[in-house]
Amino acid sequence: MQSILTSSYAVHFNHEAYKTLNKHLSRSNYSKIFVLVDENTHEHCLPIFMAQIDGEYDFEIIEIEAGEINKNIHTCTQVWEVLSELNADRKSVLVNLGGGVITDLGGFVASTFKRGIDFINVPTTLLSMVDASIGGKTGVDLGALKNQIGVINQPEMVLVITDFLKTLHERQLQSGYAEMLKHGLIQDIKYWNRLNTIRNFDKLDQEIYDSIVIKNKVVLEDPTEQNLRKILNYGHTLGHAIESYFLDSEDDELLLHGEAIAIGMVLETYLSHKLMGLSLNDMHAIKTAFVKRYGKKDISKNDIDNILPLLKFDKKNSHGEVNFVLLKTIGMPVIDVTVPSDLLKEAFAYYAE
């Protein structure tokens, strides 16, 4: 597959990815190569990855605990300290081998260590392949608030190796698929329709490629999120609040990012119908597609009362207003829509019915 060019680096795929990495390492004269993993990618992905590296380099493996709950400043401090102890310098490189927690946190750690060292992202989950591979967003959570601390900074390259998807459970694949469905909803009704026909995830290479192309096109047009790029937040305003709430709650069953975003998209589809004229048919079709794939989560009145106040922490807000991305039609989003608060509760009722 052809590499995808962003404004400052390229996303390389599979065989080509390893070839480009080997060329880059042999040319870069890095003082040391650090690889950030969690216990899962350490066991399942690192051996596959290392087997493809030609030549002898000074490697150090840094393992952190898996899970969104560890995507925080405390974990960053641990990684910064290990980098210091292992004599990382400005000519070192950090390879982030893992899902979104690893690439977001690792990108932030590298961007801030000695005011910035090189990093390379190797996403191993479907979610991080289609979402974190473009856009240069790095960061960590602050308490329950998602991605409150971070910077925009670009990796040297992103390597998408779809073989890693075989190491994932069905539920993790579905979580990533939610972001792909979002790319369809905000930009391309044909892509949305095609994705809805797919039940078997064995051969997703082309769909992953298409998703990255869509996201890249949006980010290239508006790198600093002044306007167009905000459309990528479809489903995320309520989705993030829901994810934050359940991350912090006593609820036993953790909600994955894509699962929270899927709920957010159903809710924001209702708002789109009410405020932007999205047709009743499309609204129902979107809800049906998501509920079929993700089931329905019980969200109590008490849950909702705790979720809604979290909207005020959304990074798109300013001057105390919550700004939503909504849909006019599938493929045609509108940004910066303010939503009356009674409609928000109606949206939850629609989701539940």
Residues 6+ apart with CB under 8 A from 9: 154, 155, 156, 157, 158
Is the CB of 115 or the CB of 301 nearer to its own copies? 115
Among 84, 227, 288, 300, binds its own copies (CB under 8 A): 84
The backbone torsions φ and ψ at residue 119, rounded to the nearest 5 degrees and listed phi first, read -145, 155
**Count of all residues that appear for the chain in the document:** 353
String marking each residue 281-320 x if it binds its own copies according to CB under 8 A = -------------------------------xx-xxxxxx
Is the CB of 58 or the CB of 205 nearer to its own copies? 58
* Minimum distance of its own copies from residue 89's CB (angstroms): 5
Spatial contact of 344 and 299, defined as CB atoms under 8 Å apart? no
Task: Report if residue 81 touches its own copies, rule: CB under 8 A.
Answer: yes
Spatial contact of 41 and 58, defined as CB atoms under 8 Å apart? no
> Within positions 1 to 20, which residues make up the interface with its own copies, using CB under 8 A?
none
* Minimum distance of its own copies from residue 273's CB (angstroms): 28
d(CA 109, CA 117): 9
> Within positions 140 to 159, which residues make up the interface with its own copies, using CB under 8 A?
142-143, 145, 147-152
| Element (DSSP H or E) covering residue 327 | strand 323-329
String marking each residue 95-134 x if it binds its own copies according to CB under 8 A = -------------x--xxxxxx------------------
Exposed e or buried b per residue across 170-182, where buried means at least 16 C-beta atoms within 10 angstroms of its C-beta: eebbbbbbbbbbb
Binding site for its own copies (CB under 8 A): 31, 73, 76-77, 80-81, 84, 87, 89-91, 108, 111-116, 137, 139, 142-143, 145, 147-152, 312-313, 315-320
